[in-house]
Structure 1
Amino acid sequence: MRADLPVRIVDGHVVTDPGIGPVAMVWLPLHGEVIAKIPPRKGNRSWLHVTVGIRSPKFEDDRWTLPRSCLVRLVTAVIDRYGYVVLWRDMSKLSQCTRACLEATGVECQCSCLGAHHGQDAAGWFERVGDVVVADHGECTRTAVVYGPRGSDANAVVYDGKLVGVRYRVDRAGRRNWPTAAQFMCASCMTARASVWDHCHTHGFVRAPLCNRCNTRHWRGWQPQHGRATTSRNFDDSYYRWCPEYADEWRPCSA
């Protein structure tokens, strides 16, 4: 894994640069349900139910047990919320890498390439930014893969409301024909390229593309010394109005 990545795996531990904040971690075992550790935040259960579309998320101790079928939606939603996700996967040593691996549209993979080629022919809403083999467990190898929002090589432009009135979705069908957030400048600070799509939690509409720093400015309970992103001096919350039900007099839109 590259040493300059903002989220890295060092000696089996997740290390983040200052300002990144806590990162969600998801474990995909060879069999059974997905296990997720999501940074503590008010409304996590509602977020998993409403945004990710999980009927009955189960919580025990400090982790969530979720259906395997939600993996792609979960990774997409987590990246929009936290910027990055670390996906721990147990990969079978005996299975073979096939064309089906190259054409896969999700992040689940159990073939001999350890996910190196998985989904490389498929367009998605996130991309691999680093990975590392963590441990050998006999019949399987455990890997850690860091995913972040899909980037763009084009010059960033000012967002002009292309998704105004569109409901926020994290499934592939729901995001069909969406532009990537990285095609635009951050609608809040206008000084950095956007990376994720922000949405109104109250009404469920897409609001605007934001950079990670602006997107995380309302996180509660984390102090600067613990990695909380500081608010940009250029912060502008007028992008809230991209929610068609926004009202200045009572400001119902939550971050």
Structure 2
Amino acid sequence: MTDELPVRIVDGRVVRAPGVGPVAMVWLPLDGQVIAKIPPRKGNRHWLHETVGIRSPEFDDDRWKLPRSSLVRLVTAAIDRYGFIVLWRDMSRLSQCTRACLEATGVECQCSCLGAHHGQDAAGWFERVGDAVVADRGEFTRTAVVYGARGSDADAVVYEGKLAGERYRVDRAGRRDWPAAAQFMCASCMTVKAAVWDHCHTHGFVRAPLCNRCNTRYWRGWRPQHGRATHNRNFDDSYYRWCPEHSNARRRCSA
């Protein structure tokens, strides 16, 4: 790992670069439910139910217990919401890496490659942004991998509503024809490449591609310690118009 990484694991702790907000963390044990710790925020249960598609998310102390079948949707949605997610994963030491691992379309993997090759033949909606941290637990090995939004080597262009009218989705089938957000400039600041797809939480429509800082500006606040200047009235939120239900005169879309 390098110091340039926005999120990395150091001595078992999640370390964030200046300007990077809180990230979600998920633990995938050998068996049983997925355990998720997401930054405290009003509406988390609604987000897990409506956006991630979990019928009855279970909250226990400071973490959520979620079905294993929701893992890929959870990772996709969390990256769009927070920019990054750390996935802790337990893997059997006796398992073997097979062709099925290389062709997998999710992040769940129980083979000897520690997930390094998992899904490399499949186009995903997220990608590793850091090396795995490995801990030997006897009968199994524990890894920690940081995932971020899928990047793009192409020159970024101005977003012109390619997904206008599309419902926000976090499942692979729903995103089959979506371009990577990184193919566009951030529709808010227009100074850097976008990273994630923003959507209207009120109406459920895709709005525009945003960079991580613009995407989290409302719930992180405009504070210098978060790497951004004080809020000003000149900030461009015209990308809200890509929600079909948005109207300045009547009701405002949620951030």
| TM tier, smaller | over 0.9
Give the partner amino acid of 1:13: R
Question: 1:235 offset after TM fit, Å?
Answer: 2.9
SS at match of 2:35: strand
Secondary structure at the aligned position of 1:219 is classed as helix
- Verify the 8 A CA contact 1:133 1:141 in the aligned structure 2: no
For residue 108 of structure 1, what is the aligned residue in structure 2? 108
Amino acid at match of 1:173: A
Aligned-partner SS, 1:130: coil
Aligned residue for 1:64? 64
- CA apart distance, 1:68: 0.2
Count of residues in correspondence between the two structures? 254
> CA 1:230/1:73 → structure 2, altered by over 3 Å: closer, same or farther?
farther
TM-score computed with the length of structure 2 as normaliser: 0.96
What is the CA-CA distance between 1:228 and the residue it aligns to?
6.6
8 Å Cα contact 1:51/1:77 also seen in 2: yes
Residue 19 of structure 1 contacts residue 230 of structure 1 at CA under 8 Å; is this kept in 2?
A: no
Q: Any conservation in 2 of the 1:36–1:63 contact (CA below 8 Å)?
A: yes
Q: Tell me, what secondary structure is at the counterpart of 1:36?
A: strand
Work out the CA distance in 2 between the residues paired with 1:156 and 1:221.
Answer: 27
CA-CA distance at 1:34 after TM superposition: 0.2
Identity %: 82
Conserved? CA contact 1:85–1:146, under 8 Å = yes
- In the other structure, the counterpart of 2:216 is 216
Partners of 1:180 and 1:231 lie apart in 2 by 30
Instruction: Determine if contact 1:214/1:231 at 8 Å carries over to the other structure.
Output: no
Range that drifts further, 27-36 or 129-138? 129-138
Q: Alignment partner of 1:191: what SS?
A: coil
- 242-251 vs 161-170, which moves further: 242-251
Structure 2 gaps, min length 5: none
1:145 and 2:145 are equivalent in the alignment: yes
Deviations 1:116-149 (A, max 9, x none): 1000000011001112324211011111000000
Unaligned segments of structure 1, at least 5 residues: none
For 2:152, the aligned partner's letter is: S
Q: How does 1:196-235 map to 2 (within 5 A)?
A: 196-220=196-220, 224-225=224-225, 227=226, 230=229, 235=235
Kindly provide the CA deviation profile for residues 36-65 of structure 1, in whole angstroms up to 9, marking residues without a partner as x: 000011100000000000000000111000
**In structure 2, distance between residues paired with 1:119 and 1:132:** 15
Q: Residue by residue, what CA displacement relative to the aligned partner does 1:82-122 show, whole Å, maximum 9, x if unpaired?
A: 00000000011100000000000000001000001000000
Name the counterpart of 1:21: 21
CA contact (8 A) 2:223 2:229 kept: no
Q: Does the 8 Å contact 1:80/1:198 carry over to 2?
A: yes
1:171 aligns with 2:171: yes
Contact 1:103 1:121 survives alignment (8 Å): yes
Asked whether the equivalents of residues 128 and 145 of structure 1 are also in contact (C-alpha less than 8 Å), the reply is yes
Counterpart residue identity of residue 141, structure 1 = T
What amino acid does structure 2 have at the position aligned with 1:242?
W
1:193 pairs with 2:210: no
SS at match of 2:108: coil
Aligned to 1:75: 75
- Judged with a 3 Å threshold, the aligned counterparts in structure 2 of structure 1 residues 20 and 220 are, in CA distance, closer, same or farther, namely closer
Give the secondary structure class of the aligned counterpart of 1:20. Answer: coil
Partner of 1:133: 133
- Give the superposition deviation at 1:221: 7.2
Letter of the 2:147 counterpart = Y
Once the two structures are TM-superposed, the CA of residue 222 in structure 1 deviates from its matched residue by 9.1
